[in-house]
Amino acid sequence: MQFNEPATANPIDRQRVVGKPLSRIDGPLKTTGRAPYAYERHDVVANQAYGAIVPATVATGRITRIDTAEAEAAPGVLAVVHHSNAGKLGKAKAITARLLAGPEVEHYHQAVAVVVAETFEQARAAAALVRVEYARGTGAFDLEKEKGKAVKPGRSADTAVGDFEGAFASAPVKIDATYTTPDQAHSAMEPMATIAAWDGDMLNVWTSNQMIDWARRDIAETLLIPKEKIRVQSPYIGGGFGSKLWIRADLVLAALGAKAAGRPVKVALPRPVMVNNTTHRPATIQRIRIGADRAGKIGAIAHEVWSGDLPGGGPETAANQTRLLYAGANRMTAHRLATLHLPEGNAMRAPGEAVGLLALEVAMDELAEKLGMDPIELRILNDTQVDPEKPERPFSKRQLVECLRIGAERFGWNARKAKPGQVRDGRWLVGYGMASAFRDNLAMDSGARVGIDAKGKVTVATDMTDIGTGTYTIVAQTAAEMMGVDVDDVIVLLGDSSFPVSAGSGGQWGANSSTAGVYAACLKLREAVARKAGFDPATAEFADGFVGQGNKRVRLSEVAGREGLSAEDTIKFGDLTKRYAQATFGGHFAEVGVDAVTGEVRIRRMSGAFAAGRILNPKSARSQVIGAMVMGAGAALMEELVVDPRFGYFVNHDLAEYHVPVHADIPVQDVFFLDETDDKSSPMKAKGVGELGICGVGAAVANAIYNACGVRVREYPITLDKIIGKLPPVTAA
């Protein structure tokens, strides 16, 4: 099915099932332990052995010697695989560093070897007996020091419209500030894990991966085997946030270990190894300049970003939202990439906007203060309904102003005191802050196969994944809506490369794209059902388990018959994204307390209003947004990977020392979705929402901190040591 023109009225608009706040259909499986994760698939293949990786203890250099004799002689050991005996390997184009080091080492904790044994304990003990000697190299690990050597990355062009330098120089009111964000870890609950088994030259893997078809591609390019000889299964995933968009060392080493041992092998990366072995969100340095007239109208805006990655890697595109969020005739953005020998930097929840808005939305707050304007009114004044770089390209749907107005009313923004430090609650200085939320709307071609059997049960099969976001449920809702059956009569099968290729989970594209693929397949099935029943497919009605026309109705189960009926299709997105700017919007609001003596920060409540197209399931969408809010609060207040500049690794590589917030840290969260459909996004008229929820959160918290105590911190995370020395003198409450 081609999607080249805006959607018209269709069965989804009935919203008998879609749009309802249904509980997740996979919930009972997860709460009773019947939803197995990759490492727990004891049922899929017999005689599984265990693999333990040996990680590199240098960040750069060369392996000069590997001695595996003692490990190979250890109890239960079946095989030890390293670069010298692994055979010829390739490197997937989508992955920056090789997943098995050797002889060169590209980053700390890069996998050097895998030890396979009968038990997990034997494998782990034997892995400690592998002796590896290195010729240590010299690496670069500090973005600030390498900033001057950063270059323009090939895949992220600079942008410029008008004369920014001239307009900025002549602007009567200006902001020129630099903000920094640290390296951050995904911290998914489920570790990277894989079971691999060979059946002749056919490789089967049960793994934790967000993108099934990408995984097959990357395995083929790494192991140098045909894609058709690979089956990937990942039906349940315990979180990913971008860390599982691509295969990692656990999968490659499980496959190599299984071949060497001649039996299935399972490998899980220990959490202290995951942080340095896999991907992370890279640190940024961001300079923002905004020039406005005295009424607040922006005439010049620029956003420059520096980040780092391994050779061959890419930048953190933190200036992306600045191209589209606010009006301004004269504008420029630039990204520069430094070479750093830290583990691979790559996508983490809302890459680009999540960290870009940490800077832009604080700069807007600072500009509002200089102007003596309310921060919301400044944003509304500079709203735009067209792409500022291409005014001939309108937004498909843009309700930022409505989000800000409704969000402010629900939060009680009118009680805010503009001057910092004016509100006390005992020893706490209390402040309000807000920020705009923005995230591009992306779509990917997605396929599905839908069938109906003699019992009237509808089965949907697609390689789409569920990373804890509720995909099972919204896919079931879509099929139920289209075929006119109850959700309980829909069976959803996900995460298997033997199913039609779908979008996968990432980039906030998964829900909208995958359900659009199910919609396309259901349209084909509806046509087949209607024709077999003797109805006109264009006017046949599907409801209550029947297909009908006029006064005649036939049960779907009868039409399907003993053989059943099925259909398969893929939605292919055309050029609507080129003709219309497509994005999601929102307004974040936060109330914080700052201890007047210690500088401790506590979030007292958070609120947000969002416009993200049709909300397919308000319950799961709200869950996504409040989770993203919590994650955004972590970025603002505590999350920071600490780099040891001597050895080039992240020191705090576990959940004991890399601190993340939990729901209990934020007692009140209010989420409101505007009533919106976007007919240019997909036949579902939906968009994504999971990443929008993190975009702008940290800035709202930072602005609330400033409003509470008058201390402006531009270096994230905002820890109390950056506040305490600048607090106003303590007075009696």
Looking at the chain, the whole-number percentage of residues with pLDDT higher than 70 is 99
In this structure, are residues 92 and 34 in contact, taking their beta carbons and an 8 Å threshold?
no
Cα 424 to chain centroid, rounded: 38
Question: Can you name the residues that pair with 133 across neighbouring β-strands?
Answer: 65
Mean pLDDT of the 294-303 span: 98
Residue 731 has pLDDT above 80, yes or no: no
Using CA atoms, how far apart are residues 481 and 543, in angstroms rounded to an integer? 8
Torsion of CA 33, 215, 213, 629, to 10 degrees: 60
Q: In residues, how long is the chain?
A: 733
Contacts of residue 580, defined as CB under 8 A and 6 or more positions apart, other chains included, come to 393, 394, 395, 396, 680
In this structure, are residues 273 and 56 in contact, taking their beta carbons and an 8 Å threshold?
no
Burial 217-236 (b: 16+ CB within 10 A, else e): bbbbbbbebeeebbbbbbbb
Using 50, 70 and 90 to split pLDDT, how confident is the model at 586? very high
Peptide bond into 282 cis (omega under 30): no
Using CA atoms, how far apart are residues 112 and 71, in angstroms rounded to an integer? 14
88 burial via Cβ count (<10 Å: 0-12, 13-18, 19+) = exposed
Using 50, 70 and 90 to split pLDDT, how confident is the model at 732? low
Using CA atoms, how far apart are residues 193 and 383, in angstroms rounded to an integer? 45
Contacts of residue 20, defined as CB under 8 A and 6 or more positions apart, other chains included, come to 477, 617, 618
Give backbone dihedrals phi and psi of 391, rounded to 5 degrees, phi first. -60, -20
Of residues 94, 107, 99, the one with CA closest to residue 215: 94
Q: Tell me the pLDDT tens digit for each residue of 365-387.
A: 999 999 999 999 999 999 999 99
Return the H-helix or E-strand segment holding 327.
Answer: none
Using 50, 70 and 90 to split pLDDT, how confident is the model at 279? very high
Q: Tell me the pLDDT tens digit for each residue of 428-453.
A: 999 999 999 999 999 999 999 999 99
- Quick one: CA dihedral 283, 287, 293, 297, positive or negative? negative
Q: Tell me the pLDDT tens digit for each residue of 127-162.
A: 999 999 999 999 999 999 999 999 999 866 799 999
Q: Tell me the pLDDT tens digit for each residue of 60-85.
A: 999 999 999 999 999 999 999 999 99
In this structure, are residues 97 and 143 in contact, taking their beta carbons and an 8 Å threshold?
no
Mean pLDDT of the 99-122 span: 98
pTM more than 0.85: yes
Using CA atoms, how far apart are residues 30 and 39, in angstroms rounded to an integer? 15
Using 50, 70 and 90 to split pLDDT, how confident is the model at 336? very high
- Tokens standing for residue 48: 């599984």
Question: Can you name the residues that pair with 449 across neighbouring β-strands?
Answer: 461, 568
Is 732 strand, coil or helix? Answer: coil
Taken in order of first residue, the domains within the chain and their CATH numbers are 2-35+443-575 (3.30.365.10), 392-440+582-726 (3.30.365.10)
Return the H-helix or E-strand segment holding 374.
Answer: none
pLDDT of residue 157: 78
Q: How many helices (H) and strands (E) are present in the chain, helices listed first?
A: 17, 32
Peptide bond into 103 cis (omega under 30): yes
Q: Tell me the pLDDT tens digit for each residue of 658-700.
A: 999 988 899 999 999 999 999 999 999 999 999 999 999 999 9
Return the H-helix or E-strand segment holding 266.
Answer: strand 265-268
CA angle 604, 611, 331 (to 5 degrees): 95
Using CA atoms, how far apart are residues 677 and 679, in angstroms rounded to an integer? 6
| β-pairing verdict for 541-543 and 490-493 | unpaired
Average pLDDT of the chain to the nearest whole number: 97
Residue 315 has pLDDT above 80, yes or no: yes
Largest CA distance in the chain: 83
pLDDT of residue 156: 63
- Tokens standing for residue 339: 């070479």
CA angle 371, 353, 192 (to 5 degrees): 150
In this structure, are residues 63 and 113 in contact, taking their beta carbons and an 8 Å threshold?
no
Residue the block writes with tokens 């890399």: 658
Residue 304 has pLDDT above 70, yes or no: yes
Q: Tell me the pLDDT tens digit for each residue of 616-644.
A: 999 999 999 999 999 999 999 999 999 99
Mean pLDDT of the 29-52 span: 96
pLDDT of residue 155: 67
Q: Tell me the pLDDT tens digit for each residue of 493-526.
A: 999 999 999 999 999 999 999 999 999 999 999 9
One-letter identity of residue 452 = I
Return the H-helix or E-strand segment holding 624.
Answer: helix 618-637
- Quick one: CA dihedral 99, 503, 616, 471, positive or negative? negative
Of residues 281, 366, 354, 303, the one with CA closest to residue 588: 354
- Tokens standing for residue 42: 């004891």
Of residues 282, 181, 35, the one with CA closest to residue 718: 181
Question: Can you name the residues that pair with 231 across neighbouring β-strands?
Answer: 204
Cα 205 to chain centroid, rounded: 23
Task: Give first-to-last CA distance, the chain, whole Å.
Answer: 66
Question: Can you name the residues that pair with 298 across neighbouring β-strands?
Answer: 292
Mean pLDDT of the 114-125 span: 98
Active site residues per annotation: 691
Using CA atoms, how far apart are residues 569 and 571, in angstroms rounded to an integer? 7
Question: Can you name the residues that pair with 725 across neighbouring β-strands?
Answer: none
Three-state secondary structure of 577-623: HHHCECEEEEEEEEEEEEECCCCCEEEEEEEEEEECEECCCHHHHHH
Other Cβ atoms closer than 10 A to 243: 26
pLDDT of residue 664: 86
Query: DSSP class of residue 468?
Result: S
